[in-house]
Each structure stands twice: as structure tokens, then as C-alpha cells.
A = this chain, B = another copy of it.
Amino acid sequence: MKVILLINCPDQAGIISSVTQFLHSRNGNIVYLDQHVDKSSNVFFMRLESEFDTENFNTSTFKKIFDDVLAQPYQMHWSLHLDGLKPKMALFVSKYKHCIYDILGRHNAGELAVDIPFILSNHPDLRFIADQFNIPFYHLPFSKENSAEAEDRQLALLSEHKIDFIVLARYMQIVSSRLIAIYPNKIINIHHSFLPAFAGAKPYHAAFKRGVKIIGATSHYVTSELDEGPIIEQDVTTVSHLHSIPDFIGKGMDLEKIVLSRAIKLHILRKTMVYNNKTIIFS
């Protein structure tokens, strides 16, 4: 079986040696190691993949000993993931079809190793797509009057289905601070601009007005500051005076799809780690 370890701690001599020694001594075969030191904050980051003989590996025992022997002395923040366990992903959408089709098409094509227990939307429009792919669809409208209640319902659904992370696939509704607090660095948004340029509403209109020659899309973890969360992935494409605002939107949709799906894959593969509102993206 393959075990993924994600670690960060204050940088200090001997960490790599200690961790690899620990794994080796417990018959783990390290098949991948990527590490990074952030010099400005003096923090060490590491991602390891180790293979263990399934019969002799007990997850809770391993965690206990790792914590005692390494995590405590080195003041590590760390997590352990068993490769092959599919996380549960909730998909939040509104009215745009491109991202939901892209994600569900990829899921059905076997590209995304997740379960999608349900799709949630503040609008009823995309129910037919959920139906096409046989996934439960919850229409949960938000208004000033019902917002607390809607939030409760939202959180209940997430908890009931044991959701691991949430994807906002052009979900046009600001998510609540309660939700963000419960799913820190576990809500992935796609913003339709090359952040920090054109944060906020109508970025394609703003980009058109400014006359930029390149537009972009940005996937980031959601934090309480709108469009300010840690960036996971960005990509861009060229535009010119020949392109109208609808052209910007059309070209942008292709970017949004590809950037969001890359971010989802990185998250699923446990290749992301957040520190100081920035991401480490392991190789």
C-alpha cells in the first residue's frame, strides 16, 4: 500500500535524514520525495510517498509513533493519506454549463479519482445536466431572508455526505464564513481572471476595457477575503483588438475549465500545501 505524507515545520538541520531514516527503519520504501525550504519564512516543506507491506502496516499505530518520534520534536504540521482512497467532492454550480460539463465528463472518463455525492446550486437551471450524469441535484436558493437557514441546510448536506472538499464551478454566490471555517483550504474556486488583476465582478469586461493582450483564469482556495485566497493554478491565453467581450468570455471559458480541473487534480493527489496564504505545489 502507498502512504502519502505531507509535512511542514520550522527549517532545521537533519529533518530529511530523520524522516527518511524513520521510514526506512519501518520497512517503508520511499518512492517519491519532494522538499522545499521557504527561505523568507524559514519553513521546511516535504511530500513523501512510501510503499509498505499492507499486512504489517497499521495506520493508527504508524501515526502515533510518527507523532511521538518526529512530529513533536520537529514541531511539524503534517497529514497522512492512504493512496487509493477516493475523496468525496461536492460540486457547487449556478448557471454556467462549461465547468460542470467539463468536470462530469472528466469524471466519467475516469480522469478524476473522486466520488461526487451531489451537486448543489442556487439556481435550478443545471438540474438536467446532473440528471444526464445521474448525480443527485439540490436546488438551494439563497436570499436575504433565508440565508441562515440555507446555510444550515448546506452544511447539513455536506456533513451528511461526509464531503472532503468542495469545488465552486462558477458558483455565483459568496460562500459563508462558517463554511470557510469548516473547510479551510478545502474549497476550490475558479476566478475568471488572471488574479490579482481584475478581482471582483465582470473581469472580462474590465480586461476588455483596459485593452490587455492576454487574459487568464485563476483557481484558488477560498478564504474570507474575496479573490484573495492562496492560488493553486493559473493559465492565460492571448487576445487582441479583434476580440469582443463575448470572445473574451468564450476564450476564457476554455481557460476556466482547464485551470479548475488541474487544481482539482492537484488537490486530489495531495500535491498542495498552504502556508502564508500561498501554495506549495509538489512535483
Contact = CB atoms under 8 A, between A and B. Distances in A.
Contacts of A277: 211
Contacts of A195: 197, 210, 212
Contacts of A211: 230-231, 277-279
B24 A13 contact: yes
A214 B231 CA distance: 10
Contacts of A32: 35, 37
Given A36-B242, A241-B279, A242-B36, A24 B14 contact: yes
A17 B39 contact: no
A100 to B, nearest CB: 9
Interface residues of A, number: 67
Nearest to A197: B197
A88 B4 CA distance: 43
Interface in A3-58: 13-14, 16-17, 20-21, 23-24, 29-40
A34 B36 CA distance: 9
A73 interface: no
Contacts of A35: 32-33
Interface stretch (A77-85, A155-163, A176-184, A232-240): A232-240
A204 to B, nearest CB: 13
Interface string A242-258: 10100000100110001
Contacts of A14: 24
23 contacts: A16-B16, A17-B23, A21-B21, A31-B37, A38-B241, A97-B105, A98-B111, A101-B106, A102-B102, A104-B105, A194-B197, A195-B197, A196-B197, A196-B210, A196-B212, A211-B231, A211-B279, A212-B234, A213-B233, A213-B234, A214-B235, A241-B281, A258-B258
Interface of A: 13-14, 16-17, 20-21, 23-24, 29-40, 97-98, 101-102, 104-106, 108-111, 129, 132-133, 194-198, 210-214, 216, 230-236, 240-242, 244, 250, 253-254, 258, 261, 277-281, 283
Given A17-B30, A195-B197, A213-B233, 15 more contacts: A16-B30, A34-B34, A98-B105, A101-B109, A132-B133, A196-B212, A197-B197, A211-B230, A211-B231, A211-B278, A213-B231, A213-B234, A214-B234, A240-B281, A241-B280
